[in-house]
Amino acid sequence: MLDGLGGTQGTREKGSAPTRAAEADTPELPQAGVRPRPKPSASPVKRSLIGDLRMRVIYRILAVVTALAVAAVAAVTGFFSSGSSDQPGGDASGPIAAPSAAAPSPGSSSPPVPAPTQPAQPTQSVQPTQSAQSAQVPAASPPQTPSASAPASATPSAPASSGDPGDTGTATPEPDRSAVVAALADPRVPELRRDRRLGRLPGKSYRSKHRIQDRKAGVSLVRLGRPWKIFGAAPFSTRQVLPRAKGAGHRAMLVSCPVPTLVQRAPKDTALLAARWTLNHHPRGSRISWVASQPLKRGWLLAYRVNYRVKGKPRSSMAAVAVTEVPGAKPAMLFVTIPDSQRGHWRDINTAVSSLRLG
């Protein structure tokens, strides 16, 4: 019987059976273009830090480390090579000349250096070894002080002892008499030939119970009554003045202050310098003529007449300087001057000088 396809039924049945068997035996092929997924590994692979770096980074690090090592070696080598000459007592690397055998000057206060026992060697440049350097270094002669090279005339004289039981002569040096010599060389200041006490000066005596405290100078003095009056103190500590007199070269005044000159060992010398300084408060061209020179309880008094000219006419003033020592401070000075046109007040000089007290 035909199956409608031009064949017999048996033929159809026979051809279909092998086809199914072939399909069953053929293995399943994978689809084209699809890759199989890799299976994840059980543990990730660990990489070192150095393995992650590129080779050029490693080369740069090695170059920097090498440069630092070379610099460190050079620094250590230079330090040890210069240490022997830079450190105290090190041997010098250059040639050393033989030390000079010159003796210290006569004005030196240091003891003389004994001459070396070895014969003197000529001064020349040599290349000594370490043992030769130790024999030629100037350690045999001690270093000279600045006074050894200075002339004897420039060395200041040592201060003399004042005679006090506790004075050892090592206190602050007292000034020498060079300032006094210079003052006496001034043609305006004559030499003090002999001491003489101050007598009563002309004028009327005025007594006063009032006093003025000069705290800066550490003394007190009388406050004179009228016509005297207190005036501006500068440049002194205290100042009292009389009314201006017609035709006088300057104004009468009584002042006190610490002595404005160099303090000398003798109060008389200090008073001499102070008297010369007071010429600055008199007319130009004034000259001193000594009247009195006497000691005080703690100082010295100098009274003098000051001669000068005013408008071509000779005039004068009576003046006095009293210097007194103040414990722990500079000596105090009292200075009074009255022109001859007010000679009726010259007795106030006696009053002022006798009123000077400590505190």
- Domains within the chain, CATH numbers bracketed: 196-358 (3.40.1000.10)
Q: What percent of the chain has pLDDT over 90?
A: 44
In the predicted model, is pLDDT for residue 161 greater than 70?
A: no
**Averaged pLDDT, 331-344:** 95
Confidence band of 7 (pLDDT split at 50, 70, 90): very low
Q: What is the pLDDT of residues 83-124, one digit of tens each?
A: 544 444 444 444 444 444 444 444 444 444 444 444 444 444
SS3 for the chain, per residue? CECCCCCEHHHHHHHHHHHHHHHHHCCCCCCCCCCCCCCCCCCCCCCCHHHHCCHHHHHHHHHHHHHHHHHHHHHHHHHHHHHHHHCCCCCCCCCEECCCCCCCCCCCCCCCCCCCCCCCCCCCEECCCHHHHHHHCCCCCCCCCHHHHCCHHHCCCCCCCCCCCCCCCCCCCCCCCHHHHHHHCCCCCCCCCCCECCCCCCCCCCCCCCEEEECCCCEEEECCCCCCEECCCCCCCEEEECCCCCCCCCCCEEEEEECCCCCCCCHHHHHHHHHHHHHHHCCCCCEEEEEEEEECCCEEEEEEEEEEEECCEEEEEEEEEEEECCCCCCCEEEEEEEEHHHHHHCHHHHHHHHCCEEC
pLDDT at 55 over 50: yes
pLDDT at 233 over 50: yes
Most confident of 37-41, 63-67, 172-176: 63-67
Identify the pLDDT of residue 107: 41
Indicate the average pLDDT of the chain.
Answer: 73
pLDDT in tens, 305-326: 999 999 889 999 999 999 999 9
Among 131-140, 219-228, 281-290, 302-311, the minimum mean pLDDT is found in 131-140
Give the confidence band of 158 by pLDDT, cuts at 50, 70, 90: very low
